[in-house]
Structure 1
Amino acid sequence: MTLSARTRLSGTIRYLEVGENTAEVQLKLDDGQTVTSVITANSAERLDLSEGDSVDAVVKATDVMIDA
C-alpha cells in the first residue's frame, strides 16, 4: 500500500489492550524509545495485532503543537 505519510517508525508491540471500541498499542522502537497509539478495536482485530509483532507506526499530522 502506498501512503502519503512520510514518517514511519519501526518497532515491536510491547503492550496491547483491546477494549470494546478502542485499542491501545505501545511500541518499543528500534532505537529504544516508546510510542503509544490508540486505534479502533476493529482495526486491531483486522490487522491481527499481537504483543511481540514487528510493525510500523505511520505518522501523518496536519498540526504539531509544542507548549512550554
Structure 2
Amino acid sequence: MNIRSLQTFIRVVELKSFTKAACELNYVQSTVTMQIQQLEKELGYPLFDRIGKKIALTSYGENFGSILNVGVC
C-alpha cells in the first residue's frame, strides 16, 4: 500500500469513476484499475462492485473510506 494508491482510491470515490479519476490524476485508466486491484489484494476484500461500466463502493470500501476520512456518502 502506498500513498499513490490511497490518493487514487480517494479520487475514484469522489468522482465515482475510474476513468474520471485517471484523467484528473494524469494516469491511463488501466493504471487506476491496477492500483485499486492491488489495494484490494493487500486488504483482502473488494472495495468496489463493478457492474458493467458502473462502480459502487462495497461495505468494505465504505469502511475503508471512513478510515481515510473520505466522504463516501
* Shorter-chain TM-score range: under 0.3
Report the TM-score when normalising by structure 2: 0.25
Larger Rg: 1
Could you say which structure has the higher helix fraction?
2
Report the TM-score when normalising by structure 1: 0.26
Could you say which structure has the higher strand fraction?
1
Greater RCO, CA 8 A, separation 6+: 1
